[in-house]
Amino acid sequence: MIATEPTSSSEIKSSSEMESSNGNKPAATDGFHLVVDALKLNGIDTIYGVAGIPITDLARLAQAEGIRFIGFRHEQSAGNAAAIAGYLTQKPGICLTVSAPGFLNGLVAVANATTNGFPMIQISGSSDREIVDLQQGDYEELDQMNAAKPYTKAAFRVNKPEDIGVGIARAIRAAVSGRPGGVYLDLPAEVLGAALDANVGVDSLVRVVDPAPRQIPAPESIERALDLVASAERPLIILGKGAAYSQADSDIRSFIEKTGIPYLPMSMAKGLLPDNHPQSAAAARSLVLAEADVIMLIGARLNWLLAHGKAPRWSPTTRFVQVDISPTEMDSNRPIAAPVIADIGSAMSAFLSMLKPGQIQPQTAWIKTIAERKQHNIERMAVRLNANPSPMNFSSALRAVRDFLADKPDIYVVNEGANTLDFGRDIIDMQQPRKRLDSGTWGVMGIGMGYAIGAAVTSGKPVVAIEGDSAFGFSGMEIETICRYSLPIVTVIFNNGGIYRGDDVNRSGGADPSPTILMRSARYDKLIEAFGGTGYHVTDPQGLTKALAEAVASGKPAVVNCVIDPTAGTESGHLQTLNPTSQIGSGRK
Ligand code: ADP
Ligand code: MG
């Protein structure tokens, strides 16, 4: 956790002091040491990054001073690891990058963190300010702070070493307070290398007190919300990843169980209550979205993932409670009748303490309707899941993964792809909070290995990453990182030989493959063998189960090349409506 106790400068044992050869005379310090001291003072224990000019010595020094440095092959994956570490721990994940191109590579991850509400800080070295500002053509010249601004929650630059403490303090607060997000901190090379009197340095450091203060809801907002929910005939709760982030797991569960209201988890909120909970309406999703008369959003936004709350999927007369830390989220897509602005922990405990006995009594007719639809849908899905087509498809392969994971709730599941994501979300049950990490708000590809590494490093627990063959390619080189740090990550690649599917053709009749085709013959399992890991090549569910069991039990890095039917999968997965098709004949067949 971030330190919350104030301290005096005399308590700080600075790395530069330890290097002092003269006991009485104050030693000098410099920007490098001050950054490390400031991070340590604020409880930062891990940095994810890629070394190079001008931050190589910063990475070395951080490691020498006891901060764990995880070195990646590409900054985007380092940033993704930092972001997911932030989501899991509520501490800002730190990503360290080199100037210009390295900075830009990391920026994608910071932008993704901001979009998802994950607290992270990208710290980047940068080139000489005077030369950059006059555009005189410096090595890796780029005005990085201004480039970062549109994609971050906040961006800061430190221009003198005695401001490093303040810069890091501001970055930490910006990342974790309110709606968390990605923050950029620019450290020019000359600031890192600048010398400073050690005492002045120590006195300039800031230990951030209460960086993410509780935000207590107004009692009248709680009362208004409870009244609205109590008036409902068909109430529904939607849990989002903000609810998972808040770590108010037991209060969320008690509120749902006390009120008996059916709930729907967004994908990263799966496991907040176990997916087999009787009140879960996940298997009746379309029905509850269309028919609920009052919906209580807890840490979930009415964005594209919820069809913006609009018809035809949603009823135009539904009324909303929204619990969120960000006041400006209200009314963004639908009018919010009962906004509750608070951190979710404080909001849930207020709901529990203000809820009167018997105030909320869900209609039995509503519960019965949901139960019937669930039963019907579960039976329909069972037919698909229990089929054993040859070659195997998404359903039969994911059935093997689901059954394997069923008695191992501790395992983190990372999931990205198109069909691999959509089927994976529906088929794999989660039993514990914050164990499912996926493409998130942007539906982005490329988070896979970064999230897997961040989760393994943060928790020490095993990770199973379920990757589409296309999705895997965006971060696949990090397999070397996984092997170098010996992380317990098993990557299962659903190899159908393409983006969406593997049977598309070149409409010109030429020899080049179609734009969506990848090599189905690719032996992803051999890739990890190059780095000393274990590869498995499987073609049926039994083989997949066996590979998973062996790989997870070993606790070592492994890749499972899971070959599935190239005709399995649909274009754009579940997002077909978002993909315009050509009107003049060259569109999909
Ligand atoms: P999902 O995609 O799962 O629906 P979103 O990322 O769209 O989730 O929404 C998460 C919401 O949770 C955001 O609006 C964010 O402001 C809010 N949030 C994040 N952390 C907290 C917290 N600790 N307390 C209250 N709201 C939070
Ligand atoms: Mg594919």
- Asked if residue 333 and residue 231 are part of one domain, the reply reads yes
Pairing outcome for strands 412-416 and 319-324: unpaired
Q: Is 481 in the pocket of ligand 1 (CB under 6 A)?
A: no
Separation CA 88–CA 1 (nearest Å):
11
pLDDT (0 to 100) of residue 18: 45
Global pTM reads 0.95
Give the three-state DSSP class for 353.
helix
Other beta carbons less than 10 A from residue 35's beta carbon: 27
pLDDT at residue 578 greater than cutoff 90 = no
Assess if residue 214 is contained within a domain.
no
Mutate to test the pocket of ligand 1, among 289, 344, 346 (most ligand atoms within 8 A of CB): 344
Q: Is 324 in the pocket of ligand 1 (CB under 6 A)?
A: yes
- Asked if residue 548 and residue 495 are part of one domain, the reply reads yes
Residue where a domain stops, chosen among 371, 402, 434: 371
Other beta carbons less than 10 A from residue 545's beta carbon: 17
pLDDT (0 to 100) of residue 7: 43
Q: Which residue has the higher pLDDT, 583 or 544?
A: 544
Q: Which ligand is nearest to the CA of 341?
A: 1
Tokens of 275: 């997916």
Give the three-state DSSP class for 127.
coil
Q: Is 299 in the pocket of ligand 1 (CB under 6 A)?
A: yes
Using alpha carbons, list the distances in angstroms from residue 44 to 38, 82, 151, 153: 9, 11, 23, 20
- Asked if residue 433 and residue 572 are part of one domain, the reply reads yes
Separation CA 359–CA 292 (nearest Å):
18
Contacts for 439 with CB less than 8 Å, ≥ 6 apart? 415, 416, 421, 445, 447
Residue nearest to atom 18 of ligand 1 (CA): 242
- Asked if residue 458 and residue 566 are part of one domain, the reply reads yes
Q: Is 329 in the pocket of ligand 1 (CB under 6 A)?
A: yes
Q: Is 120 in the pocket of ligand 1 (CB under 6 A)?
A: no
CATH number where 256 lies:
3.40.50.1220
- Asked if residue 176 and residue 101 are part of one domain, the reply reads yes
Tokens of 251: 């209060």
How many folded domains does the chain comprise?
3
Assess if residue 382 is contained within a domain.
no
Query: Cβ(279)–Cβ(261) under 8 Å?
Result: yes
pLDDT at residue 8 greater than cutoff 80 = no
Q: Is 263 in the pocket of ligand 1 (CB under 6 A)?
A: no
Which letter, b or e, does each residue of 75-99 get, where b requires 16 or more Cβ atoms within 10 Å of its Cβ?
Answer: bbbbbbbbbbbbbbbbbbbbbbbbb
Assess if residue 463 is contained within a domain.
yes
Assess if residue 472 is contained within a domain.
yes
Residue nearest to atom 7 of ligand 1 (CA): 301
Q: Is 40 in the pocket of ligand 1 (CB under 6 A)?
A: no
Q: Residue 19 sits in which domain range?
A: 4-208
Q: Is 300 in the pocket of ligand 1 (CB under 6 A)?
A: yes
pLDDT (0 to 100) of residue 3: 44
Assess if residue 536 is contained within a domain.
yes
Q: State the residue for tokens 């708000």.
A: 441
Residue where a domain stops, chosen among 173, 208, 243: 208
Give the strands of the sheet with 182-188, arranged side by side. 68-71, 46-49, 93-97, 120-126, 182-188, 154-157
Using alpha carbons, list the distances in angstroms from residue 430 to 354, 399, 530, 564: 30, 14, 33, 24
Respond yes or no on whether the N-terminal peptide bond of residue 54 is cis (omega within 30° of 0).
yes
Residue nearest to atom 1 of ligand 1 (CA): 240
Assess if residue 136 is contained within a domain.
yes
Q: Is 245 in the pocket of ligand 1 (CB under 6 A)?
A: yes
Strand partners, 48: 70, 95
Q: Which ligand is nearest to the CA of 115?
A: 1
Q: Which ligand is nearest to the CA of 573?
A: 2
In angstroms, what is the span from residue 347 Cα to ligand 1's centroid?
13
pLDDT (0 to 100) of residue 357: 93
pLDDT (0 to 100) of residue 580: 84
Tokens of 129: 């300010």
- Asked if residue 560 and residue 455 are part of one domain, the reply reads yes
Strand partners, 49: 71, 96
Query: Cβ(241)–Cβ(269) under 8 Å?
Result: yes
Separation CA 584–CA 340 (nearest Å):
50
Q: Is 15 in the pocket of ligand 1 (CB under 6 A)?
A: no
- Asked if residue 409 and residue 503 are part of one domain, the reply reads yes
In angstroms, what is the span from residue 324 Cα to ligand 1's centroid?
6
Query: Cβ(255)–Cβ(368) under 8 Å?
Result: no
pLDDT at residue 12 greater than cutoff 80 = no
| Mean pLDDT of the region 138-160 | 96
Residue 368 class from Cβ within 10 Å (0-12 exposed, 13-18 middle, 19+ buried)? Answer: exposed
**pLDDT tens by residue, 210-259:** 999 999 999 999 999 999 999 999 999 999 999 999 999 999 999 999 99
Which ligand 1 atom sits nearest the alpha carbon of residue 329?
A: 14
CATH number where 437 lies:
3.40.50.970
**pLDDT tens by residue, 506-558:** 999 999 999 999 999 999 999 999 999 999 999 999 999 999 999 999 999 99
Separation CA 103–CA 147 (nearest Å):
10
- Asked if residue 483 and residue 526 are part of one domain, the reply reads yes
Strands (E), 160-233: 182-188, 195-197
Structure confidence at residue 584 as a pLDDT band (50, 70, 90)? confident
Assess if residue 381 is contained within a domain.
no
Which ligand 1 atom sits nearest the alpha carbon of residue 326?
A: 16
- Asked if residue 398 and residue 267 are part of one domain, the reply reads no
Tokens of 414: 């990372």
pLDDT (0 to 100) of residue 50: 98
Q: What share of the chain is helix, strand, coil (3-state, %, to 5)?
A: 45, 15, 40
Strand partners, 183: 121, 154
Q: Which ligand is nearest to the CA of 469?
A: 2
- Asked if residue 168 and residue 41 are part of one domain, the reply reads yes
Considering the chain, what is the average pLDDT of its residues?
Answer: 94
Residue nearest to atom 21 of ligand 1 (CA): 242
Residue nearest to atom 22 of ligand 1 (CA): 343
Phi, psi values for residue 560, rounded to 5°: -110, 115
Q: State the residue for tokens 């005399």.
A: 10
Assess if residue 522 is contained within a domain.
yes
In angstroms, what is the span from residue 399 Cα to ligand 2's centroid?
18
- Asked if residue 41 and residue 99 are part of one domain, the reply reads yes
Q: Is 268 in the pocket of ligand 1 (CB under 6 A)?
A: yes
pLDDT (0 to 100) of residue 35: 98
- Asked if residue 70 and residue 135 are part of one domain, the reply reads yes
| Mean pLDDT of the region 454-479 | 98
